């Protein structure tokens, strides 16, 4: 837990003062009535609002079947197809020439797919998959970088009723093989390669290595991303994507009607044992929730251009790059590159050129923007932006305020969202047209979401006290189960605080949090994101927030380093803003801030300054790698890093400390 041994400690709130949403935004917002919270509280059947955002082949019999908790069935009896909902119906509504996808490549390429063009591409690839023998309920693994063929493959699978399992392209061959074996997958869609900071990397070689250890024959489709720049050989059972699709030019595939409870996709996420967990998301509940949260939280309308900078290989990309925006008929931007390649204003150039209305990114990316300085967003006209969002990790008040001021010009609400792979979509945040924002706090639970912070006994904690974040009521986007492992699903998420005899089912998120007097939730990090120093369990999030509160600090990551003589010690890895030199004075201010906020027990053994932190291509700081460096251990897998060159610098700087 985040609470120190032997203490009943109140978390010092770092949330800023309430900031009301701009009046101009409220005037046009999709949701402006605060009564929506009470409506959902009094009438759980209000979830029919989500169901009305998708079209059903067969109407559902009820909102929810809760006869076998926690294996809830949403919209039982209903039938629909996710691909139809994201494509066909928009053509029927006269939107065939409206842009569905704007793709921005790493080398400066760009490509636009209208809804009609996307419909054609998805149908042709669906026909191609069927020609390879893919049938309803077969799991198709997709191992692609951020290119248009990735959402095309996902929607083609959905069209024929074949669940997809997208594996992040940056993961290793072993990770791919493990996930294919776990999913019993006999089909793979991959590419010859991808770009990282302008350099070409061989993706097919990783896929081929994975297939060696997969215990079954696999039909593989290979997208030729590089052409003659990276020649590759197709082995037995491997097919060129473009040649395969060319054989099905102009073909259409009727969308397979799926039960609302049928699996739409598998998403593998890390488990407590180290083995990946296959999270199962269903067609009806998930798609309805994706559309509902995209409309209410991100205020999306069909006319909007929306950009989520995450990778589709993670759940954020599934819900808020593909299914949510396309279900609503909006334009979704897909970007293959990194925020600073080829220049540090690359993202803002894309926002300006595409007149992006809504921008959703990670706190680590925002901290990098802050470090580089406001001159980069100031080079571009960002007046098209109407709403900003944050996802992936808690965002501290200073980066929040910088984002609000320098990107949104004080005119865009910021939705700081908390959710997980298992929740399917946003569950805790402010409704941007209803609630004031509190920098550093995610906000209250959404209407219909019963989020509580509890102690070890499952009792709600007092305001300001740390505890476990739990959800006490089912919601449509929730995972159905874990693939082929109902028992593990129960053990991982439902056994700790539930009381089956009393028919009380409580979802345990694994995150630590506190809640204030207004019901706003502040995320403190994972329950296991603690450092045990001399018997005191310290939250890394609390220490990082104290560091980020120091003027001139752009990014911080805190880990525990193990020393044979002294046990576990705190190591802080810190990047400063461009106009602040990393000197002893800054180090002293950091130490003082930590001691004031938490106490001397949290004082770092070392404050290591670094120009950058090791990050995955989705923008998350790889803290595990920093733990290896702090402890002097052999480094683990670095294949998912977007900036591997920084590792050696950090190792040298740590030794110098």
Which secondary-structure segment (H or E) carries 326? helix 324-328
Distance between CA atoms of residues 642 and 614, nearest Å: 8
Residue that is written with structure tokens 């890390």 in the block: 270
Is the Cβ–Cβ distance between 94 and 88 less than 8 Å?
no
The sheet that has 567-576: what strands, in order across it?
A: 553-563, 567-576, 606-609
Task: State the DSSP string of 593-639.
Answer: HHHHHT-GGG--SEEEE-SS--BBTTS-B-HHHHHHHHHTPPP---T
The DSSP-derived string for 422-461 is TT-S--BS--TTTSPB-TT--BSBPTT--EEEE-TTSPBP
Structural domain of 543? 529-656
CA 104, 109, 113, 119 torsion-angle sign: negative
Which pLDDT value is given to residue 521? 97
Q: How far is CA 614 from CA 190, 403, 446, 547, in A?
A: 26, 22, 33, 18
Task: Name residue, tokens 């209305």.
Answer: 357
Is residue 565 in a domain?
A: yes
Report how far apart, in Å, the C-alpha atoms of 558 and of each of 315, 360, 525, 531 are. 25, 25, 12, 9
3-state secondary structure of 564: coil
Helix 173-183 × helix 203-213 angle, to 10°: 50
Residue 565: predicted pLDDT: 63
Given this model, what pLDDT does residue 37 score?
96
Kindly state the DSSP code that residue 418 receives in the 8-state scheme.
B
> What whole-number distance in Å separates Cα of residue 226 and Cα of residue 192?
7
So what's the pLDDT on residue 117?
Answer: 98
| Of 538, 640, 543, 530, the residue nearest 597 (C-alpha) | 543
The 10 Å Cβ neighbour count of residue 174 is 14
- Contact of 389 with 359, CB cutoff 8 Å: yes
Q: How far is 427 from 442, CA to CA, in rounded Å?
A: 10
- Main-chain phi, psi angles of 158, to 5 degrees: -60, -35
Return the C-alpha torsion angle 421, 424, 427, 431, nearest 10: 120
How far apart are the C-alpha atoms of 69 and 514, rounded to whole Å? 27
The residues pairing with 140 across neighbouring beta strands, listed in sequence order, are 164, 187
Best CA proximity match to 70, nearest among 369, 383, 499, 437: 499
Domain presence at residue 369: no
The distance in angstroms from the start CA to the end CA of the chain is 30
Domains in the chain, number = 1
Three-state secondary-structure class, residue 286 = helix
The H-assigned helical ranges of 66-148 are 82-86, 88-92, 115-131
d(CA 324, CA 118) in angstroms, rounded, equals 16
Is 8 within a domain? Answer: no
CA dist 504 → 42, 57, 187, 471, 479 (Å): 18, 34, 41, 11, 18
Q: Residue 532: CB partners within 8 Å, gap ≥ 6?
A: 538, 560, 568
- pLDDT number for residue 186: 97
Torsions phi, psi of 650, nearest 5?
Answer: -70, -40
The β-bridge partners of 191 are 223
CATH number of the domain enclosing 638: 3.30.300.30
| pLDDT value of position 270 | 66
Residue 320 lies in a domain: no
Q: Show the low-confidence residues of the chain (pLDDT under 50).
A: 1-13, 272-273
In the block, tokens 């024929």 appear at: 160
Considering the domain boundaries, does residue 268 fall inside one?
A: no
Q: For residue 236, tell me if it sits in a domain.
A: no
Cα separation, 254 vs 565, whole angstroms:
67
Q: Specify if 629 maps to a domain.
A: yes
**What CA dihedral angle connects 132, 133, 135 and 139, to 10 degrees?**
-70
Would you say residue 576 lies in a domain? yes
The kind and range of the H/E element at 246 are helix 241-246
Residue 559, beta-bridge partner list: 571
pTM of the full predicted structure? 0.86
pLDDT of residue 543: 87
Please give the pLDDT value at position 13: 47
Confidence at residue 197, expressed as pLDDT on a 0 to 100 scale: 65
552 with 593: CB under 8 angstroms? no
Give the closest residue to 187 by CA, choosing from 222, 213, 152, 158: 222
């Amino acid at each position: 837990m985040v609470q120190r041994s032997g203490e009943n400690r109140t978390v010092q709130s770092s949330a800023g003062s309430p900031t009301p949403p701009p009046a101009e935004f409220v005037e046009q917002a999709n949701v402006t009535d605060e009564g929506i919270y009470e409506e959902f509280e009094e009438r759980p059947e209000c979830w029919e609002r989500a169901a009305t955002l998708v079209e059903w082949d067969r109407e559902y019999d009820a909102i929810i079947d809760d006869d076998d908790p926690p294996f809830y069935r949403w919209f039982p009896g209903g039938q629909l197809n996710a691909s139809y909902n994201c494509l066909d119906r928009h053509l029927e509504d006269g939107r065939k020439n409206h842009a569905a996808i704007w793709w921005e490549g790493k080398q400066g390429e760009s490509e636009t797919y209208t809804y009609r063009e996307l419909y054609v591409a998805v149908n042709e690839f669906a026909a191609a998959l069927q020609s390879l023998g893919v049938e309803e309920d077969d799991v198709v693994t997709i191992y692609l970088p951020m290119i248009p063929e990735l959402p095309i493959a996902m929607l083609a699978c959905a069209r024929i009723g074949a669940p997809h399992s997208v594996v992040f392209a940056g993961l290793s061959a072993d990770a791919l093989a493990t996930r294919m074996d776990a999913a019993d997958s006999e089909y793979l869609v991959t590419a010859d390669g991808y770009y990282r900071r302008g350099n070409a990397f061989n993706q097919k070689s990783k896929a081929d290595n994975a297939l060696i250890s997969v215990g079954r024959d696999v039909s593989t489709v290979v997208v030729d991303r590089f052409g003659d720049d990276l020649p590759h050989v197709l082995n037995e059972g491997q097919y060129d994507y473009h040649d395969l699709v060319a054989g099905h030019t102009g073909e259409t595939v009727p969308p397979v009607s799926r039960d609302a409870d049928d699996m739409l996709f598998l998403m593998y996420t890390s488990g407590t044992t180290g083995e990946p967990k296959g999270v199962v998301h269903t067609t009806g509940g998930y798609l309805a929730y994706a559309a509902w949260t995209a409309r209410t939280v991100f205020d999306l309308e069909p006319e909007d251009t929306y950009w989520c900078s995450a990778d589709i290989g993670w759940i954020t990309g599934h819900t808020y790059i593909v299914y949510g925006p396309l279900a609503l008929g909006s334009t979704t931007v897909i970007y293959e590159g990194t925020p600073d390649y080829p220049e540090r204003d690359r993202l803002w150039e894309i926002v300006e050129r595409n007149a992006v209305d809504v921008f959703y990114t990670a706190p680590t990316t925002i901290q990098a923007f802050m470090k580089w300085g406001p001159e980069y967003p100031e080079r571009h006209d960002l007046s098209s932006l109407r709403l900003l969002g944050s996802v992936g990790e808690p965002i501290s008040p200073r980066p929040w305020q910088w984002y609000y001021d320098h990107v949104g010009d004080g005119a865009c609400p910021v939705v700081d969202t908390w959710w997980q792979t298992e929740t399917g979509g946003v569950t805790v945040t402010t409704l941007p047209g209803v609630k004031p924002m509190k920098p550093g706090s995610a906000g209250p639970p959404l209407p219909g979401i019963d989020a509580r912070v509890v102690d070890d006994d499952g009792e709600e904690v007092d305001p300001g006290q740390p505890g476990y974040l739990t959800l006490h009521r089912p919601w449509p986007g929730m995972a159905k189960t874990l693939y082929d492992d109902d028992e593990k699903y129960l053990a991982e998420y439902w056994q700790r605080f539930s009381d089956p005899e009393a028919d009380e089912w409580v979802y345990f998120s694994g995150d630590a949090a506190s809640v204030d007097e207004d019901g706003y939730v502040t995320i403190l990090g994972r329950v296991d994101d603690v450092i045990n120093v001399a018997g005191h369990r310290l939250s890394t999030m609390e220490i990082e927030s104290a560091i980020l509160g120091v003027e001139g600090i752009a990014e911080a990551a805190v880990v525990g380093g193990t020393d044979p003589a002294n046990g576990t010690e705190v190591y802080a890895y810190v990047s400063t803003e461009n106009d602040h030199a990393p000197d002893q004075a800054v180090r002293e201010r950091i130490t003082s801030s930590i001691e004031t906020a938490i106490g001397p027990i949290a004082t770092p053994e070392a404050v290591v300054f670094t120009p950058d932190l090791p990050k995955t291509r989705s923008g998350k700081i790889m803290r595990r790698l920093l733990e290896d460096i702090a402890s002097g251990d052999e480094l683990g897998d670095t294949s998912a890093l977007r900036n591997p060159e920084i590792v050696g610098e950090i190792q040298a700087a740590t030794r110098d400390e």
